[in-house]
Structures are given as structure tokens and as C-alpha cells.
Amino acid sequence: MGALLPGPWPLELLQEAAQAGCPGLRVEAVAQIDSTNTELMRRVRAGALPPPTLLVAERQTAGRGRLGRAWITGGPGQPGDLAALPALTFSLGVVLAPRDWSGLSLAVGVALARALHPALQLKWPNDLWLQGRKLAGILIETAQLGGQRVAVIGIGINLEPPPGDPDTLSVPPAGLRALLPACTAPGVLLQVLPPLLAALRRFEAEGLAPFLADYQARDLLHRQAVVLSDGTQGTAQGIDAGGGLLVHTSAGMRTITSSEVSVRPAAAPPGAPA
């Protein structure tokens, strides 16, 4: 894996790497911002985003996750010391015109997992997990700009687990350096960008179908007991062709598609192996 790349953000290399999947991608790097997603959405809403744009930040002061949650990164690392950054946080603003938008976060998750490491699993709908801990999250927002729809695809990848007691957090975090000890934020960005752009174009042309087999192979929830945020319990049975999560409940099979529903693995019974 070629994720070692110390030094300043390699903006030209990133632009070159993006050429095949997204000619003309504009790459911007900032030391600090509230949130890369918030910034790109502000630009779209102001009619000012010249898509396509990649915005990467060394630090976010108000990083956002799904369902209104905060996205917190941090730990050791000095401003400007890119080799020591504890996380990669970036957003991509691109015009997309898929026939069906459902399953986009799954396709993005598959592309990232494929690009990063065979050991990574996917937790519906938008997380990458490593050895039972959350490694990365995806936040996709869309807005209309003229006659086109812009997708802002925000990705946060922990290189080091964020501070805090992992055993008391509701979702314990993982860090990519556990798998790739020498990886750096610029190196990981260079590694994931071309496959991510290729996946977006493929999703636009063919939908979720080309990603389903890989999703299934990495599906963390498959045949697991799960609890939905509305309290419903059941057993996850994979995803349907549109990316909905199939959950077998006492009332029969339910397809979970709402972005307002979250899913967590049910607690293991006492005495079960960890």
C-alpha cells in the first residue's frame, strides 16, 4: 500500500491523479475550517461552487456526522505537520446525475474499503469498520445548483483513534495506522481519490449493481442481531438492490431505507466471545 507521503499537501499530484476520473478537479487544502462539508454546501447555496472541487482540511472545528452528530478528530499533531495528522478529513463537491441516488453512500464505502485494505468492513449505511471499531464515516449532502444537482461527499478517516475512552464511547473508534503504521493523511488521500472518482462515475452510469458483491463480502451486519434507533430488534440479512438494509424482525422482513434510522449491533449475550 502506498500511503506514505510526508510533506505538504501534494495538490498537483492530486489533480493529476484525478484527471482520469474527474478532469479539471480543483483541489484546495486548508489548515483549519469549521467543516469541509459545511464550506462546500455554503458555496453551492451561494451559487459559487465551481464544481468539481476537493476540499481537504487539517483540522475541523465543527466537523459533522450523520443524523446531526459531531465528527471529532484529534490527538497529537502540530499545525502544518502533515505526517503526524491524526485523521484525513475532506469533502468532494461534484455534479452527479444518477438515475437513482439510493445507495450512493454504500458505493462510496465500497470504493474506500477496496482502496484502503482487505480487512475493512462496511457497516450500513455509511461506516467503515476495523476489528469491531469505527474507522471512517461518510456524510453525503446534496443541493441544487441551476439545473444540476451537486453532491457534497464528506469523508473522515481516523488514522489514530480520536481521544476519549473507547470503551465508554457508543461507537468505539479505530485508526488506520493499526493496519498501515506509516500512513499519512496526504498519502491516504492520494490512494483513495482515483478509485473514489471512478466509483462515482460508475455509480452515475450503472447504479449500485456493480458494488453489491463487494458490499456483501464486507458486510459487518450480515446475519447479526441488530437494534434500530426506533427500538425494533431483528437480524440483518444484507441489502437489497437499492441499498436498503433488510432486517428480519418479529413482524417479518423490513427494508430500512430512512436516513433517520440508525442501526447498531445488538449487545452480545453474557459469556459470548468478544
Distances (CA, A) of 211 to 95, 128, 239: 20, 15, 11
Q: How many residues bind ligand BTN (CB under 6 A)?
A: 20
Q: Is 37 among the residues that bind ligand BTN (CB under 6 A)?
A: yes
3-state secondary structure 23-49: CCCEEEEEEEECCHHHHHHHHHHCCCC
Binding map of ligand BTN across residues 218-237, x = CB under 6 A, - = no contact: --------------------
Which lies closer to ligand BTN via its Cβ, residue 154 or residue 234? 154
Residues 6+ apart with CB under 8 A from 253: 237, 246, 247
CB of 66 to ligand BTN, least distance (A): 4
Distances (CA, A) of 183 to 62, 87, 180, 229, 250: 25, 10, 6, 35, 45
Of 5, 62, 16, 12, whose CA–CA distance to 36 is shortest? 62
Which lies closer to ligand BTN via its Cβ, residue 61 or residue 78? 61
Q: Which of 10, 36, 94, 196 binds ligand BTN (CB under 6 A)?
A: 36
Nearest to ligand BTN by Cβ — which residue?
137
Prior bond of 125 cis (ω within 30°):
yes
DSSP, res 169: S
d(CA 101, CA 38) in angstroms, rounded, equals 21
Q: Is 66 among the residues that bind ligand BTN (CB under 6 A)?
A: yes
- The residues pairing with 143 across neighbouring beta strands, listed in sequence order, are 150
Binding map of ligand BTN across residues 80-119, x = CB under 6 A, - = no contact: ---------xxx----------------------------
Which lies closer to ligand BTN via its Cβ, residue 36 or residue 53? 36
CB of 171 to ligand BTN, least distance (A): 8
Which lies closer to ligand BTN via its Cβ, residue 74 or residue 210? 74
Which lies closer to ligand BTN via its Cβ, residue 138 or residue 150? 138
Q: Which of 10, 21, 98, 137 binds ligand BTN (CB under 6 A)?
A: 137
DSSP, res 229: T
The x, y and z cell numbers of residue 245, run together, are 438494509
CB of 185 to ligand BTN, least distance (A): 12
Which lies closer to ligand BTN via its Cβ, residue 64 or residue 212? 64
Q: Which of 154, 173, 186, 243 binds ligand BTN (CB under 6 A)?
A: 154
d(CA 31, CA 145) in angstroms, rounded, equals 27
Q: Is 71 among the residues that bind ligand BTN (CB under 6 A)?
A: yes
Which lies closer to ligand BTN via its Cβ, residue 138 or residue 174? 138
Of 139, 171, 133, whose CA–CA distance to 155 is shortest? 139
What DSSP letter does each residue of 93-148 carry, written as one string?
EEE---S--TTHHHHHHHHHHHHH-TT-EEETTTEEEETTEEEEEEEEEEEEETTE
Residues making contact with ligand BTN (CB under 6 A) = 35-37, 60, 63-66, 69, 71, 89-91, 127, 137-139, 154-156
